[in-house]
Amino acid sequence: MSDDAIKISRSRKLGQDGPDIFPIGIGAMSFAPFYGEVSESDSHAVLDAAMELGVNFIDTANVYGMGQSENFIGSFLRSRGNAAKDFFRIATKAGIARGHKDGPFINSPEYLRSELENSLRKLGLEQVELFYIHRRDHKIPIEDVAGTMGRLIEEGKIRSYGLSEIAPTSLIRAHEVHPVAAIQSEYSLLNRGPDLGVLQASERIGAAMVAFSPVGRSLLTDKPHDEEAVASMPFLRSNPRFIEPNLSANHKAGEGFRRLAASMGMPASSLALAWLLHRGEHVIPIPGTRSVTHFRELMAAASIRLTAEDMAMIDTVMPPGWAHGDRYSDEQWLGVERYW
CA angle at 78 for the pair 123 and 96, rounded to the nearest 5°: 15
Instruction: Find the helix or strand (DSSP H, E) in which 36 lies.
Output: none
| pLDDT tens for each residue of the chain, 340 residues long | 444 555 555 799 999 999 999 999 999 999 998 887 899 999 999 999 999 999 999 999 999 999 999 999 999 999 999 999 999 999 999 999 988 888 899 999 999 999 999 999 999 999 999 999 999 999 999 999 999 999 999 999 999 999 999 999 999 999 999 999 999 999 999 999 999 999 999 999 999 999 999 999 999 999 999 999 999 988 899 999 999 999 999 999 999 999 999 999 999 999 999 999 999 999 999 999 999 999 999 999 999 999 999 999 999 999 999 999 999 999 999 999 998 7
96 forms bridges with which residues in the sheet? 105
Q: What are the residue ranges spanned by the domains of the chain?
A: 13-216+272-306
Q: Which of 35, 64, 161, 328 is catalytic?
A: 64
Angle (deg, nearest 10), helices 168-177 and 198-205: 20
**Contact in structure between 276 and 24 (CB atoms under 8 Å):** no
Phi and psi at residue 44, to the nearest 5°: -65, -35
Q: What helix, strand, coil percent values describe the chain, rounded to 5? A: 45, 15, 40
Question: Which residues lie below 8 Å from residue 135, measured CB to CB, with a gap of 6+?
Answer: 95, 96, 104, 105, 164, 165, 335, 336
**Contact in structure between 59 and 28 (CB atoms under 8 Å):** yes
Tell me if residue 64 is catalytic: yes
How many Å from the N-terminal Cα to the C-terminal Cα in the chain?
35
Residue 86, helix vs strand vs coil: helix
Could you tell me which CATH class the domain 13-216+272-306 is placed in? alpha beta
Other C-beta atoms closer than 10 Å to the C-beta of 95 total 26
Q: What is the rounded CA–CA span in Å between residue 29 and residue 48? A: 17
| Strand ranges (E), 10-56 | 12-13, 20-21, 26-27
